[in-house]
Structure 1
């Protein structure tokens, strides 16, 4: 086939075509609305939209936003949030995605990005580019007849705010109270704007926790459309975004949502796998996990830059052969220890593929699990237990957003 040319799209018409090509590739997404099309320049970070051209035809696109991601231990490193990956349905399986994603990763490495992550529409595409599942989320459905335990302290400091007011308030709350949970990412102004422009997906209500001027948590929720709402016995609310960085905020916001009088069921669309919600209830069976999904797919771009900043257990070390055919500067044998990751000529105790690095970086998957799956090869049995101790990380990784 003809050569594939990948280049940055700077022309507004090209970027609009790329945005709609992505929606066509996803099949279930409508074209951009007139309002979204008019604000496209505000939604895209300059210089990040890539197009793949074959004989002058736009055959594929990908995009991204820069910011930071939190590693185990609380360090924040440079991060590329990859999004809008799409290939013209007439040009799939011809190397377009390979050209795009390889170019994007190599450019990210040249500019000093440490980690990339994305949200995958298909689970079979991204491992070959070095992305591994780095975070898992739950969808939890709660019967509102459930009661909070008497031991759960609620301050009743939740109030509703006008969604228009929330446009300025919620980013401030998030930026001031972002936690050190592994996997948390910046919510750029462009991300917030995209939420306000998506009318069909926008939450109807916004509740915040804390006194005016000192809010520290929020929930965005909406009713599931039901023509029989007034007589239905299955009135359902979906919580699209629960940001509760403290136990106090979590208890108050969850209690507020479960107390909504006409509602029979509350669905929390995105929760971390270790969220305490079921344990707050007198009947934990009232909270059912209805879906488990891979949230973040993580790609290590700068191996020593990422793992030297990640918390590793002092007194332990392990030597690992890393296989990375896309980013060759990561390919080789490395000695991992607290605060330092160095290339070495010593024999490797373990071998891991690049996508496996993405899974262990935030602590989403254990080395033993990856060894059982064949992603990690074990040359020295003691090295596997050493890696488990070295990479121990409290708290499940979670970001709580899609981009």
Structure 2
């Protein structure tokens, strides 16, 4: 890899520059369905970084201002990193490295505690301090053999809002998300997904669930392969967005989806690794889950603030030394426990880089697994079990949001 000092990294300022940056992203990603969009409508002002070779934008990295739910239900300020790409003509010149390093400094200066992204290529981002903090599964239910358990909660009321759906309605429900790993979906995210739906000729259906008159869940779904719909032996509906704030909403939405007429299979794009859907039917083999794949790549931008924000299991603290090659303020040893979180002069029991700490932060990766794969330097073997207890989460971290 060679660096090109003539390429300048700076914030994209004008509408023409921002749209040029977004076109670079589309060209770099190759297969995205969106081609014509005003990028100023789907981005946050002042956050889109560009790499300029002369007057030409040849690379970019963007982010949304957001929040992330951490174990215990607290929310930390969060940068949702997206639109990262470099033109094929400018690869292998260190441009992505410069963009990501500059972006992290900007995020830190804004006071945002964490950043996360969804990786198109999994070998890129660990060197910038991102670790895999949550995983996601796909799933499908064969309605010909799926019968819900008779004692499943009855749920509330499900209403059809296909024609009358508004972003405000769905965002108002989603903004109450409290599961570990959930992030705020900014206005630009909602606008982009509106445009994606508008560009898709397939009809999308939306249902909203309410309990005691209060909206507390929704599902967005669409038929697959409509050209052969009436001759297909496996007429499939794909659920692209499923949000349930409680057990009543989850059960009510399941009842709706699993009772659709003219449908053989209900498929879910993304489920949490511990989603209870397989337990909801009498025949567990009616639910087929896909392989786990990486979802949230998490970067702790302010390690101490992030550690203070979440809750902890167990009583016995650990001391862990953290190294961060890009944000030196994070370097140091921290005592972590339910009573005390902060820097310490005590000897570390475990040592990790910031990417490994990010992987463990939400409870999605076990410390013993990280240690077994050489990602933790263990000074005290007893500390691994204590770390697993401390960092455990009541539910598997899961976002359910792509960006």
Q: TM-score range by the shorter chain?
A: over 0.9
Change (3 A) 1:276 1:298: same
Does the Cα contact within 8 Å between 1:132 and 1:356 map onto a contact in 2? yes
**Displacement after TM superposition at 1:31 (Å):** 5.7
- Find the counterpart in structure 1 of residue 172 from structure 2: 172
| Aligned ranges 1:239-278 → 2 under 5 Å | 239-278=239-278
Contact 2:79 2:107 in 1 (8 A): yes
Q: 1:158 to 1:114 in 2, by over 3 A?
A: same
The CA distance in 2 between the partners of 1:184 and 1:10, in whole Å, is 30
Supply the distance in 2 between the matched residues of 1:195 and 1:357 (Cα, whole angstroms): 32
8 A contact 1:140–1:291 mirrored in 2: no
Q: Deviations over 1:206-257 (max 9, x none)?
A: 0111179621110000011232211211111100001012111111111111
Structure-1 separation of matches of 2:132 and 2:310: 17
After TM superposition, list the pairs within 5 Å mapping 1:181-200 onto structure 2: 181-198=179-196, 199-200=198-199
Which position in structure 1 is the counterpart of 2:49? 50
After superposition, what is the alpha-carbon deviation per residue over 1:335-385, rounded to whole angstroms, capped at 9, x for unaligned? 222254322332211111111111111111011110011111111111112
Q: Which residue of 1 aligns with 2:93?
A: 94
Q: In structure 2, what is the equivalent of residue 386 of structure 1?
A: 386
**1:332-371 alignment, distance < 5 Å:** 332-338=332-338, 340-371=340-371
Is the CA contact 1:2–1:55 (under 8 Å) kept in the aligned structure 2? no
- 2:214 maps to 214
Q: Which runs of 4+ in 1 moved over 4 A?
A: none
Distance 1:358 1:200 in 2: 36
TM-score norm. by structure 1 comes to: 0.94
Q: Tell me, yes or no, if the aligned pair for 1:66 and 1:79 is still in contact at 8 Å.
A: yes
Any conservation in 2 of the 1:308–1:338 contact (CA below 8 Å)?
no
Instruction: Tell me, yes or no, if structure 1 residue 11 matches structure 2 residue 14.
Output: yes
SS at match of 1:169: helix
Conserved? CA contact 1:299–1:355, under 8 Å: yes
**Do the aligned partners of 1:163 and 1:204 also contact (CA within 8 Å) in 2?**
no
Using a 3 Å threshold, how does the CA distance of structure 1 residues 89 and 30 change in structure 2: closer, same or farther? farther
TM-align CA RMSD: 1.7
- 1:164 deviates by 4.0
* C-alpha distance in structure 1 between counterparts of 2:24 and 2:329, whole Å: 33
The separation in 2 between residues aligned to 1:305 and 1:156, in whole angstroms, is: 39
Q: Indicate conservation of the 8 Å contact 2:314/2:338, yes or no.
A: yes
Q: Deviations over 1:280-330 (max 9, x none)?
A: 001011100124211110000001100011112363211111121011111
- Please tell me whether the aligned partners of residues 307 and 340 of structure 1 are also in contact (alpha carbons under 8 angstroms): no
Query: Contact 2:314–2:390 (CA<8 Å) still a contact in 1?
Result: yes
Instruction: Report SS of the residue matched to 1:279.
Output: helix
Q: Give the corresponding residue for 1:229.
A: 229
Relative to structure 2, which stretch is displaced further, 150-159 or 15-24?
150-159
Q: Structure 2 vs 1, CA of residues 400 and 203 (structure 1 numbering), >3 Å: closer, same or farther? A: farther
2:4 match: 2
The count of corresponding residues between Structure 1 and Structure 2 is: 397
What residue number does 2:304 align with? Answer: 304
Give per-residue Cα distances to partners, 1:117-171, cap 9 Å, x unaligned.
Answer: 0011111100000000011111001101211011113246112113443333111
2:59 alignment counterpart: 60
CA distance in 2, matches of 1:48, 1:163: 34
- Distance, in Å, in 2 between the alignment partners of 1:299 and 1:203 is 37
* 8 Å contact kept, 1:312–1:339: no
Structure 1: gaps spanning 5 or more residues: none
Residues in 1 aligned to 2:51 and 2:212: alpha-carbon distance in whole angstroms: 48
Residue of structure 1 in register with 2:289 after alignment: 289
Q: Distance in 2 between matches of 1:362 and 1:7?
A: 32
- Quick check: 238-247 or 337-346, which moved more? 337-346
Taking the aligned partners of 1:311 and 1:203, their CA distance within structure 2 comes to 42
Aligned residue for 1:170, secondary structure, equals helix
Summarize the alignment of residues 15-26 of structure 1 with structure 2, pairs less than 5 Å apart: 15-26=18-29
Q: In the aligned structure 2, how far is the partner of 1:31 from the partner of 1:148?
A: 38
2:30 matched to which residue of 1? 27
Structure 1 position 279 matched with structure 2 position 279 = yes
Indicate the residue corresponding to 1:129 in structure 2. Answer: 128
| Structure-2 separation of matches of 1:217 and 1:356 | 34
Residue pair 1:210, 1:216 contacting (<8 A) in 2 also: yes
